[in-house]
Structure 1
Amino acid sequence: MGSVMMGLMLAAAPPAGADTAIGHWKTETHNAIVEITHCGPSICGRIVTSDLLRTQPDLRDAKNANAALRNRPIKGLQFLSGFTRDGDAWSGGSIYNADDGKTYGAKVTPLGADQLKVRGCVFVPFCKTQTWTRVR
């Protein structure tokens, strides 16, 4: 009976859609909160706060490969961009990692209403995946 009930609950759950990515998310690293919004036909994401930003609110993008960008603030930095809707996911975009100053190919896939799988790749199969959790 329990497996039948679980099957019915799963069947009743609304499917995740690409718009499910819109919102505020807690990342797996740095206890960061990011905001993902629509940017035209795409999505983009910016850094709202993190453990480092709570102690160093004026933190700069010091490791950026482009020396001209090294003085820009981390808070509010757009680090996700260029995605194309791919069914229920967003693919073909990029994710910027301020920890190493590099940009990687990325895909964002909703896992239900309250989780996102965010995958960044130097090139496949050299990828790292995180699961982000909705905060509001």
Structure 2
Amino acid sequence: MDWKKPLFAAAALLAVAPSMAAASPLEGRWINPKHSVTVRIGACGPTMCGRVVDASPRAREKAAAGGTPNLIGTPLLTNLAAANGGWKGSVFVPDHNIRASANLKLLAPNQLKVQGCVLAGLLCRSQVWTRID
């Protein structure tokens, strides 16, 4: 009967282990430089993603004019995976209704450089987002 206690303890540890995994430094709420859009980044299956959780009326208008009628809830960042000291994935630009390749890099614990590139990386734009929680 003594052999059951260590086995039970090991099984309990394995059951809890996934929840004890360290959170990604990307996780949290981030705001763009104009303070017009807030994105929550978190786990989405095996990768990370970021959805719009708040937006100014002007940002909503611009997105609607570009073909995104409901900006709140829209996934802006998808399929983010660790790569080369940062993260790679896709970024959606709602006011232009386009998807581009994305490169993200933490500049500091509360600063995230988000870069989107089209035309095989020939045309890129970037912003530095600020963590708000």
Q: Which structure has the greater CA radius of gyration?
A: 2
- Give your verdict on TM over 0.5: yes
What does 1:56-75 correspond to in 2, within 5 Å?
Answer: 61=64, 63-64=66-67, 71=69, 73-75=70-72
Counterpart of 1:40 (choices 41, 45, 53) is 45
Identity within the alignment, %: 31
Query: Residue 110 of structure 2 aligns with which residue?
Result: 114
Secondary structure, counterpart of 1:74 in structure 2: coil
Tell whether the 8 Å contact from 2:63 to 2:96 is kept in structure 1 after alignment: no
Secondary structure, counterpart of 1:21 in structure 2: coil
TM-score normalised by length of structure 1: 0.70
Query: Residue 6 of structure 1 aligns with which residue?
Result: none
Query: Residue 132 of structure 2 aligns with which residue?
Result: 135
Find out whether 1:19 has 2:16 as its counterpart: no
- 2: distance between equivalents of 1:30 and 1:98? 16
TM-score normalised by length of structure 2: 0.71
Distance 1:114 1:79, change over 3 A: same
Find out whether 1:97 has 2:102 as its counterpart: no
- 1: distance between equivalents of 2:96 and 2:103? 19
Q: Output the aligned Cα RMSD.
A: 2.7
Distance 1:102 1:60, change over 3 A: closer
Counterpart of 1:52 (choices 44, 50, 57) is 57
What does 1:1-12 correspond to in 2, within 5 Å?
Answer: none
Secondary structure, counterpart of 1:75 in structure 2: coil
Counterpart of 2:74 (choices 74, 77, 91) is 77
- 1: distance between equivalents of 2:115 and 2:57? 23
Structure 1 residue ranges, 4+ long, deviating more than 3 angstroms after superposition: 58-62
Distance 1:43 1:90, change over 3 A: same
- 1: distance between equivalents of 2:64 and 2:35? 15
Residue by residue over 1:109-135, the C-alpha shift from the partner in whole angstroms, topping out at 9 and shown as x without a partner, is 112210101000013231001000001
Q: CA deviation at 1:84?
A: 2.0
